[in-house]
Amino acid sequence: MSNNKDVLGEEPSGPLMADVARLAGVAISTVSRALANPGRVNEKTRAKIDAAAKQLGYTPNAMARGLRVGKSNTIMIILPGSLYYGASQVIPQVLQSINKSLSQNGYNLMIANLDRDEISERHILDLAFGGTARGAIILSSKLPEVDGRSLANAGLPIVSMLLDMSDAGLPSVVTNDREAVREATAELIRLGHRRFLYIAGPEGNYHDVERYGGVLEALDAAGLPEEAVVRSGGNLDYQQGFEIGIQAADDFAALAVKPTAVIATSDDMAISFMSRMQQGGLTIPGDLSIVSFDGSPVCAFCSPPLTTIEQPVEHMGQAAVALLLDAIDRSGKEPATRTVVRSRLILRESIAAPTASPRKHTAR
């Protein structure tokens, strides 16, 4: 009995039905009827109650309310969108690492969404404000925000992963995108390459900004002009990686002066681009060197094996969980605002010293 008494005596950490009733200017029993049997309450009153519930972040899920924020052993994972099924499996690999680390520490993983439409955003916020989760890890995307509610105001410890939001005060775990691409570009320059094609992700995307910045820094350090690199892509999402690579092959074919090296911001882009180049009669790396980003296992089995920058997904997952558990424990010190886990360049047979200008390529 004493345990039940303790639970009932807890100070609520989220809005209650009484709060909704007070804001809507109706009786608690009216709120209860509106939520349980909407047809028993007139439309005008029901609209007032619905608006009040949304404003307060109230969820009618009794189980969620009973858990109370900070008392659950569930960690909510917020995905950037639907899962991607290309060669680059960064998000699924990260999820596996996070799940393993959480399980070792006595927590359960809950995937909150498989999309980022308005319905999904509302669901994420209902879970957060309702007390279902003890903390949240958000992957490669901004915080959900709908109708004035934001995940930032849910009272949950939150860690951002694969997107640096430390400027907004959110602990973040990222890899050294800029430095890693700078190192890869410097290696191509060391081999003798002086003209480059950069296959870009979505324009303005955090990863694309960092990775292209690394290319420019390497060119500057080598005394090469910014004009030494031509950009392709930028108008498609990373989940359209294969299509971006095909588009880049067409862009390459249209260039009067052909680059001798290509830097792709994902393995999928590089794989489809390389395939098109070989179909058009070019050899890799004889006519064209290619390096990509992500470190997908399949890169080792491409023909030729693809040089790639491997993201340390397991270490990043572990670091994100460690940061979140520190924030949950509140053990006297604030968690670090930004943790950088280093990627590594895996050199394979897709890059070599340039021999001559690439032969004429015909896109297929």
Task: Say whether pLDDT at 12 is over 50.
Answer: no
Judge residue 9's burial from the number of C-beta atoms within 10 Å of its C-beta, 0-12 exposed, 13-18 middle, 19 or more buried: exposed
Q: What is the pLDDT of residue 222?
A: 97
pLDDT of residue 329: 80
Contact 184, 219 (CB under 8 A): no
Q: pTM of the full predicted structure?
A: 0.75
Collapsing DSSP to helix, strand or coil, 174 comes out as: strand
Q: pLDDT by residue (tens digit) across 252-309? A: 999 999 999 999 999 999 999 999 999 999 999 999 999 999 999 999 999 999 999 9
Q: What is the pLDDT of residue 18?
A: 77
Q: Which of 142, 133, 149 is nearest to 71 (CA)?
A: 133
Per residue in 141-197, pLDDT (tens digit) is: 899 999 888 999 888 999 999 999 988 889 999 999 999 999 999 999 999 999 999
Domain boundaries, the chain: 177-311
**Under a CB-based contact definition with an 8 Å cutoff, are residues 249 and 222 in contact?**
no
The candidate with the shortest Cα–Cα distance to 177, out of 189, 185, 169, is: 185
Q: Which helix (H) or strand (E) holds 127?
A: helix 118-130
**Mean pLDDT on 110-120:** 92
Of 16-25, 58-67, 111-120, 201-210, minimum mean pLDDT range: 58-67
The tokens for 117 are 């439409």
Overall size of the chain counted in residues: 364
Q: What is the pLDDT of residue 356?
A: 63
User: What gap in Å lies between CA 106 and CA 129, rounded to an integer?
Assistant: 22
Q: Would you say residue 131 has pLDDT above 50? A: yes
Residue 182 one-letter amino acid: R
Which pLDDT does position 357 carry in this prediction? 57
Q: Could you give the angle at the alpha carbon of 167 between the alpha carbons of 164 and 172, nearest 5°?
A: 35
Q: Was domain 177-311 assigned CATH 3.50.50.60?
A: no
Predicted pLDDT at 358 = 56
Whether the per-residue pLDDT at 137 is higher than 60: the answer is yes
> What's the order of all strands across the beta sheet hosting 108-111?
108-111, 74-78, 135-139, 158-161, 172-175, 338-341
- What pLDDT, on the 0 to 100 scale, is given for residue 334? 62
The pLDDT value given to residue 333: 56
- Say what the pLDDT of residue 250 is: 94
pLDDT tens readout for residues 338-354: 899 999 999 999 999 99
Residue that wins the pLDDT comparison between 65 and 106: 106
Within 10 angstroms of residue 80's Cβ, the number of other Cβ atoms is: 20
Choice among 81-85, 94-98, 303-307, 329-333 with the minimum mean pLDDT: 329-333
Cβ 346 vs Cβ 309: under 8 Å:
yes
| Of 232, 222, 256, 260, residue with least CA distance to 353 | 260
Q: For 151-154, which contacts have Cβ atoms below 8 Å and span 24 or more sequence positions? A: 151/78, 151/124, 151/125, 153/57, 154/57, 154/69, 154/125, 154/128, 154/129
For the residues 111-140, what does the mean pLDDT come to? 91
Residue identified by tokens 């910045």 is: 213
182-195 pLDDT, tens digit per residue, is: 999 999 999 999 99
Per-residue pLDDT tens over the stretch 20-70:
888 999 887 788 777 666 666 888 888 888 888 888 877 655 444 444 444
Concatenate the DSSP letters of all residues of 12-55 into one string: PSS--HHHHHHHHTS-HHHHHHHHH-GGGS-HHHHHHHHHHHHH
Determine phi and psi for 291, rounding to 5 degrees: -130, 145
Mean pLDDT of the chain: 85
